[in-house]
Amino acid sequence: MTKKTESTITILNIYHKLQLIQSEIKELIRTEENKFQKYKFFNELQVLKLLRPLLNKYKLTLLLSDDTTQPFIHEREGKEHFIKYLKKLEIVDAESPEHRLLFNFWAAGSNVDLAKAKGSSETYAIKYMLSKFFLMPVKDEGDPDYWGQEEGEKKEVKSSSSSTNIDQSLTELANQTNTISMQQLEDLIKLFRQKTSEQKEKQTKFLTELDQLLVKRGIEGNTNAGNFRTRLATLTPIDYQYLCDWLLGFEEDK
C-alpha cells in the first residue's frame, strides 16, 4: 500500500501499517453488563467492528490458530473442566505476504462443558489480545468523560502515532506469554487455602488484591469461586510472588 502526499509517495511496510491502525482506531465502550457480578465489559464483536475496516484499509490479514508447540493443559475438579493452552496470532501484509509477524498468547478458562471451556477461553483471550495490541482506548458508559459533552462533541480518544507504540505493543505481547506454570498455580492455591481457611475477611481481601493486579493488565471482572483458578492462571511470576508474599505476611501486617 502507498500513502500519497503532495510531493512524495511512501510505500508502507507492515510496521507503518500497524502504527497507522493504532493511531486511527476508535475507542471501545463497555456497553455489555454482567448482571450477576455487577460490572460492564466489551465483547469480541465490538473489537472486530472497530478493527476490520482498518485491516481492510491497510491490507493486513490476521491468522489465529492454536499453537501446538506447547501442550494443551486440561484438569478436572468435580464437574468443572479447567484448561490452559497457547494460541498463535500471525499478522500478514496482504500486499507483501512474505512480510509477517508472529505472536503467542495464553488462553485459559473453565466450564462444566469442556468444549465451552475452550470456546469461552478463546473468545476472552482473543478480544483482550487484539484490544491491547492495537491500543484501543476503553471507556465505560458510566464514565463522566463519555457523557460530559453534547452529542457530536464527544472527545475522540486516539492512540499516539509515535513509533514507540509498536515497541510497547510487542513488549505487552511478550509479557502475555510469561504466565505462571501449573505447579506455581497449584502452589498458590494450596497456600491460599492454608492461610485463609475459614477466614472470610482474609479471603475477600486476597481476592481484592488479585483483582487489582489483573485490572492493571486490562483484565476486567471480579474473581469468584467459579473463575478463581482460571484468573490465577493468567498471573505473571511477579504477580505470583507478590500474592505469595501477601499471604505469608498477612498476620504480620494486621
Q: In this predicted model, what pLDDT tens digit does every residue of 210-243 receive, in sequence order?
A: 988 888 777 777 888 777 887 888 888 888 888 9
Q: Do 159 and 165 touch, CB atoms closer than 8 A?
A: yes
Diameter of the chain measured on Cα atoms: 73
Q: Check: CB of residue 114 under 8 Å from CB of residue 74.
A: yes
Distances (CA, A) of 223 to 75, 149, 207, 211, 227: 19, 34, 6, 7, 6
> In the block, which residue shows the cell 473442566?
81
* Residue 7: HSE in the Cβ half-sphere, 13 Å Cα cutoff: 0
Write out the H or E segment, with its range, that includes residue 82.
Answer: strand 80-93
State residue 160's pLDDT score: 40
Q: Please tell me the predicted confidence (pLDDT) of residue 56.
A: 94
pLDDT digits (tens, 9 = 90+) for 17-47: 999 999 999 888 776 666 665 667 788 888 8
What residue segments make up the domains of the chain, in order of their start? 11-143+163-177, 178-254
Rounded to whole angstroms, the Cα distance separating 63 from 90 reads: 5
User: What are 18's strand-pairing partners?
Assistant: none
Whether 143 shows a pLDDT value over 70: the answer reads no
Say if residues 29 and 42 touch (Cβ distance below 8 Å).
yes
Model confidence at 7, in pLDDT bands (50, 70, 90)? very low
The C-alpha angle with vertex 100 and arms to 95 and 104, in degrees rounded to 5, equals: 145
What average pLDDT does the chain have? 78
> How confident is the model at residue 115, as a pLDDT?
92
Report the amino acid identity of residue 1: M
- pLDDT of residue 108 exceeding 70: yes
pLDDT reading at 6 higher than 90: no
Residue of 61 and 185 predicted with greater confidence: 61
pLDDT of 4 reads 52
- For 105-158, the DSSP string reads EEEEEEESSHHHHHHHHHHHHHHHHHHHHTT--EEETT-HHHHSS-TT------
State the Cα–Cα distance between residues 223 and 231, nearest whole angstrom: 7
Specify the pLDDT at position 197: 81
CATH class assigned to 11-143+163-177: alpha beta
pLDDT at 93: 94
The SS3 of residue 227 is: coil
CA distance 248 to 15: 45
**Is 0.75 topped by the overall pTM?**
no
Least confident of 53-67, 91-105, 139-153: 139-153
Label residue 196 by pLDDT band (50, 70, 90). Answer: confident
DSSP β-ladder status, 39-41 and 60-66: unpaired
> Cα–Cα distance between 245 and 77 in angstroms, integer?
27
Q: Which three cell numbers stand for residue 72?
A: 494443551
φ, ψ dihedrals at 208, nearest 5°: -65, -45
136 or 175, which is more confident: 136
Highest mean pLDDT among 114-118, 145-149, 158-162, 165-169: 114-118
pLDDT at 63: 95
pLDDT by residue (tens digit) across 86-99? 999 999 999 999 99
Higher pLDDT pick, 143 / 126: 126
